[in-house]
Structure formats: structure tokens, C-alpha cells
Structure 1
């Protein structure tokens, strides 16, 4: 086999690997601490008949960052100017990182968004009032939003867990990444600030989705 044939085979293999990586590529976004509020709690924190003010659209259709911020307080301290996301929800939910939790002295469980039963408590403080939130504080489980078409393209099902490899300056393989499929979603993986720092993620970055979650 001559040198030209060897080079040709290597180029074909590299090209095929690049195609596979691109096909399994998912955009990644860092989800900083934020709060989802019920309309009842919007009223308490910001005043009667108050409505959230649109600041900027988020990647998921219909979701937006609001102009409003609140303070989250725990036993050891507080975090000010935490962004409220809209639209309002049926139940208030606070999403923070483990580092945030240690800072203010609370112990939130790792949960899928929306699963707040028996989760941690905190105090929310707004310009017009405050709330003792008995439950609702979580550390969000890393996950990938996908449309139905995305799920078919990646050959994954709603509720399935996969591995995503990030090739950054500090390469990391994130296991147990939850797949969430809905016709309301756009394909995007969400990690929190602790996870982003571990992988040295900043700016626009993608990961490679791999079927399976085993760490062995």
C-alpha cells in the first residue's frame, strides 16, 4: 500500500468521524441562577395587578428573561438581583447551583425542573414584599430540550438519559443527562454554572451526544 493510498484512507476515516460528531452535536447553554414565579407571588413581591416586564427572549419558545429581580435568602446569607424568568407558572421554583446553596446555607435536592415536592425552602424578597417559600428550591438536573424531530434524529426518547462530551480546554463527559422532548422545545442542553466552570465553558459551545450513561 503506497503513501497516497494510506493518506486517502486516513482522510476518509477522519471525515467520517467528523460527520458523526456533527450529527450528534448539541448546543449547550449555561443556565445561571433564576426564579420562576406564580402570579400570586408576583403580586406579593411586586404589588397588586403587577405583570412581569419582558426583557429578552430565551432560546426556548415563549420563555423570556424579565426585567424584575428578587433576593434569595437562606440561613447563612442572601443573593441579590436574581433574575425572574417568565411567563408565570402554577408554582414558584428557584433554581440555584450547589455553590449558591452553600453560600446562603440551604440544601436543595437535585431535581428535574417542575419536581419541587419536598424540596428546599428559602425567603424571596421583592420591592413590595417577601415570601417564605416552604418548598421550591432545587439544583436543576442537567438536561437537553429537544423537539419531536430532534428526538427522532438523535434516536432518543423523552425521559431517557445520555452522555454528553464537551471538548473544551477542560474536557468533561457529563453522564445522566436527561432528555426532555416536546413540540414546544428547541434543541439545547442546559447546565448550571458549577458544571460550566468544571468544563471551562464560555460563549458558544457544543457537545457530542452519546447513547448510554455508564461511567465505567
Structure 2
């Protein structure tokens, strides 16, 4: 068994929009306005927010993340999905086949998606150097241990390796709340040989 420490990044509900949907929601030739950089290089929280409208409710002020993606994807905690009346499953980013759709509004403009709402699978971003140093590879599944009064072990944590990634564990608000975690806390990755 091998271990290493990883910082925690808690992901609140958000969405990634395609260029087409950015233009439909915010006007032709619109670009996202950077509010702040995120932990992963080149990614940012935008000033723009939207309202998500599901069969049973809506969520207002949902942050758009940039830059634009090839396909629009909404990432929610399961409790968010329940409020909206959606049944979502944990998926790797980009795997939206067979997922529920949703309506997105920004002011008087709307987009209706046939699919694209997921609970993001908990995952570790790692650079190629991190992967080499810690003996992990893209698509590995590991465990992460957390100490503290509400501590525990998260199983089935996906490893994602890319040269531009910074080492970071992404979990959603449901997972963070269950374990009593906040941004910047650390966990211990457990690799079973």
C-alpha cells in the first residue's frame, strides 16, 4: 500500500456552456467574463450566472465556469438534483449519454437541453509529473482517507492525469458536508498494490 496527501477542492453546483449556448443565453458573440481563477490552470469562474429549471423546482444564481466547452454540461450535488426533480448519476466529465436534460435561463433567454446533467464523479486531478511521482495513472481508482470528527474513506475516486493539471481532489458539497471538509483541507490517497 502506498499513500500521498492531496488538497481538497469543493465543487458547488455549476455548469460549463458551449459557445452556441453562451451566445443563446448572453447574446451573439458573447464571451464569458472572468470572476476568479480556479485551481486548475486556465479554468475560471465567470461573472455570468443562470437559473436551472427542472420538473419540480429551480435553482437561481448557478455559476458558469469557463472557458467554453464543446458540449454543455451541468454538475450538481444529488441534493440539488432532488430539489429540481431530477434523477442523476455520478459520471466522469463529458460522459452525458443517457443523462437527464434541463432548462437554462438567463433573463428572458432560454436553452432547453435534452441531456447533460450529472453528479460529477469524485476525482483527483494530477499532472504527468504527479502521476510519475506517486505511481498513479489516468483512470486509476483510488481511496482517500480523511481524519477528524466526521472523517471517513471515500472509495471509487477517479484519477485524471493531464500535463496541465494541478494536484487537487474535487468532491461536491454533499460529500464535503458529510465528511466535515472545507476547501484546502487535505486527504490521504490510498493506493492498494
TM-score with structure 2 length normalisation? Answer: 0.96
Match of 2:161 in 1: 181
Instruction: Indicate yes or no: 2:78 matched with 1:98.
Output: yes
Indicate the residue corresponding to 1:3 in structure 2: none
CA drift of 1:212 comes to 3.6
Instruction: Assess if the C-alpha contact under 8 Å between 2:10 and 2:183 holds in 1.
Output: no
- In 2, Cα distance between the equivalents of 1:181 and 1:203? 21
1:116 pairs with 2:76: no
Structure 2: distance between partners of 1:48 and 1:156: 43
RMSD (Å), alpha carbons = 1.3
3-state DSSP class of the match of 1:169? coil
- Which structure: greater strand fraction? 2
**1:27 aligned to 2:3?**
no
Q: Which residue of 2 aligns with 1:208?
A: 188
In the alignment, what sits opposite 2:34? 54
Higher share of residues assigned helix: 1
Higher relative contact order (CA 8 A, sep 6+): 2
Q: Deviations over 1:43-75 (max 9, x none)?
A: 111111111101100110100000000001101
Residues paired across the two proteins, number:
192
| Farther off after superposition, 167-176 or 81-90 | 167-176
Structure 1, unpaired ranges of 5+: 1-19
5+ residue gaps, structure 2: none
